[in-house]
Amino acid sequence: MSFNYIGCWALFIKEVRRFYSVAVQTIFAPVISSLLFLLIFGQVVSSEITAFEGVNYSQFLIPGLVMMTILQNAFANSSSSLIQAKVYGNINFVLLSPISPLEFYLAFVAASVVRGVAVGLGVLVIGWLAFDVQIINPLVVIVFAILASALMGSIGVAAGIISDKYDQLSAFQNFLIVPLTFLSGVFYSIKSLPETWQFISHFNPFFYMVDGFRYGFFNQGDISIVFSLLVTIIFFLGITMINLILLYKGVKIRN
């Protein structure tokens, strides 16, 4: 069976237009929220903390905030779209179209990448204008931004499939996504933590995305950039396999 490029592209455009139509809520609001974090933490504790050598705390904080914004918004895009489609029955129109589960999955993840990168870029521009942040390895930054948003879009697809109603999805986000994001080294270097918490932090997959992304800015990180990349790729492939199994079986979608 050939790949339905037109169908996949049409579903992708539909998902992009969905979040773009409410850009104030889906793009500008997260940028403003991240700016508030930057103003509060960057200005209040900037003189008290030195995370990396030769890097002030405000500059250190910006890549973490950019990645946090990417992670949360990429997840929100695919998960909210799926649960909305399930609750209102719009998913039936997609299922009746000649689109395979793989094409369905790729369209949702690609739209999540667009939203995640768009919001992250907005935060990055503000950080660049206000704090003169320099990017030493742009390729590393681009790779981790795309991989991280694709991974979180994929997790969002899984959450949207598993959840039957909005409060279940909210629980998934509030008790899993948000804590893992805030404890991933966004606001601190894990080397500043006690050894026990450093060890625990290595079991947080979000930490590797944040640290790898930050490495692209400063050529410094808490762990090897290669290891961070490998963990992110493996985690993405694992979630992708789970999603495709759920979609091909039609779990909580077709039945």
* Residue 61 in domain: yes
Instruction: Specify if 80 maps to a domain.
Output: yes
Phi, psi of 100 (to 5 degrees): -75, 165
Question: Which of 67, 25, 52, 88 has its CA nearest to residue 182?
Answer: 67
Length in residues, the chain: 255
Q: Report yes or no on 216 lying in a domain.
A: yes
The DSSP output letter for 4 is: -
Q: Is residue 151 part of a domain?
A: yes
Confirm whether 254 is domain-assigned.
no
Decide if 11 is inside a domain: yes
pLDDT (tens digit, 0 to 9) for every residue of the chain, 255 residues total?
689 999 999 999 999 999 999 988 899 999 888 888 887 776 666 555 666 767 788 888 889 999 999 999 999 999 999 999 988 888 888 888 889 999 999 999 999 999 999 999 999 988 888 777 888 999 999 999 999 999 999 999 999 999 988 899 999 999 999 999 999 988 888 888 889 999 999 999 999 999 999 999 999 888 999 999 999 999 999 999 999 999 999 888 876
Q: Is residue 255 part of a domain?
A: no
Q: What is the DSSP string of 23-34?
A: HIIIIIHHHHHH
**Per the structure, how many domains does the chain have?**
1
Sign of the alpha-carbon torsion through 76, 77, 79, 80 = positive
Rounded CA-CA distance 225/229 in Å is 6
pTM of the model: 0.92
165 inside domain: yes
Strand partners of residue 55: 52
Cα torsion angle, 48, 52, 55, 60, sign: negative
Instruction: Give the domain extent around 112.
Output: 5-249
